[in-house]
Structure 1
Amino acid sequence: MPDLLTSGHIVDAALLIVAAEAGLLVLWRRRSGPGRGALLVNLASGACLMLALRAVLVGAPGYWLAAALAGAGAAHVADLWLRLRSAAP
């Protein structure tokens, strides 16, 4: 069990689940509901945070951690922008 955690494979499994979730949501939202953009940037933010966790777990160079965190921040800003834009009168 400790090898599963320290190797980063647990994060890989979680990322596969998020990718499957994104695919299912895109297919489901094709027919009805709000736009897919807000859902996808929200998932992208979480996926980037998981990539940052994986970088720490496997001892990756610091620039991988910084890139993952920057991606999470950019996706978060995009998510906020989409939400605020849709809430505006």
Structure 2
Amino acid sequence: MPDLLTGGHIVDAALLIVAAEAGLLLLWRRRAGPGRGALLVNLASGACLMAGLRAVLAGAPGYWLAAALAGAGAAHVADLWLRLRSAAP
């Protein structure tokens, strides 16, 4: 059990769940769910944060963590932009 937590495999499982969630949300959107873009950039932000955690747990070089955090930041900015754009009159 400690290997599951410290080796990063638990993050791999969480990333698979996020990917499945994204697929289900895309299918749901076809049938009149909320906007796809906002949901996907929100999921992308979280997935990038988990990828950064995975990089740290796996002992990857620091640039992988920096790339993951940059991706999370970019997805967060996109999420904010979509939310503010839809709230504007």
Smaller-chain TM-score bracket: over 0.9
Rounded to whole Å, the distance in 1 between the matches of 2:31 and 2:83 is: 21
Structure 1 residues 58-67 or 31-40, which shifts more? 31-40
Matched, 1:47 2:47: yes
Q: Which runs of 5+ in 2 are unaligned?
A: none
Distance 1:58 1:5 in 2: 11
Q: Structure 1, residues 63-89: CA drift from partner, whole Å, max 9, x if none?
A: 000000000000000000000000000
Runs of 4+ in 1 over 4 A off after TM superposition: none
State the Cα distance separating 1:6 from its structure 2 match. 1.5
* Post-superposition offset of 1:34: 2.5
Return the TM-score normalized by structure 2.
0.97
Instruction: Give the match's secondary structure for 2:53.
Output: helix
Shift of 1:47: 0.1
Shift in Å at residue 33 of structure 1?
A: 2.9
Q: CA deviation at 1:5?
A: 1.2
Root mean square deviation of aligned Cα: 0.6
**TM-score, structure 1 as length reference:** 0.97
Rounded Cα–Cα distance in structure 2 between residues aligned with 1:2 and 1:67: 27
